[in-house]
Amino acid sequence: MAILLERLRSRMDSPVQIYRDERSHLRKPSVHTALFQRTSTLGDQMETIILTINEACHASRTGRTALYAAIKSGQLAARKRGSRTMILARDLKQWVESFPKLGSSE
């Protein structure tokens, strides 16, 4: 009976470990990485100067609705390229830095 329980435990542990190992490369990049660095196909680093709405949402940890509201109110500048709305990385950074600090009276 103990051998059977040990085999069941080992089978239950294995898929979880494999799942973790296979997904470890899918971790989201940090905000700094998402905002300012993108790896090109040649492997060298280049600075990202403009972001799509989805990239800006991910980098700023903000939802699409809040991002579009900031654009509409003029708090965040956006550019258009055809039908695609794009945001300069420096504008996004300034917008995020304009959020009130926790515990401040501003």
Convert the pLDDT of each residue in 4-60 to its tens digit: 666 656 655 544 444 444 554 555 555 545 555 554 455 556 778 999 999 999 999
- 82 occurs within a structural domain: yes
- Structural domain that includes position 90: 27-97
Q: Which two tokens stand for residue 105?
A: 């009276």
Residue 68 has pLDDT above 90, yes or no: yes
The whole model's pTM is what?
0.56
- 17 occurs within a structural domain: no
Number of domains in the chain: 1
- 15 occurs within a structural domain: no
Convert the pLDDT of each residue in 81-98 to its tens digit: 999 999 999 999 999 999
In sequence order, which ranges of 62-106 are alpha helices (DSSP H)?
Answer: 64-73, 89-97
Residue 5 has a pLDDT of 60
Closest alpha carbon to 60 in 86, 95, 105, 27: 95
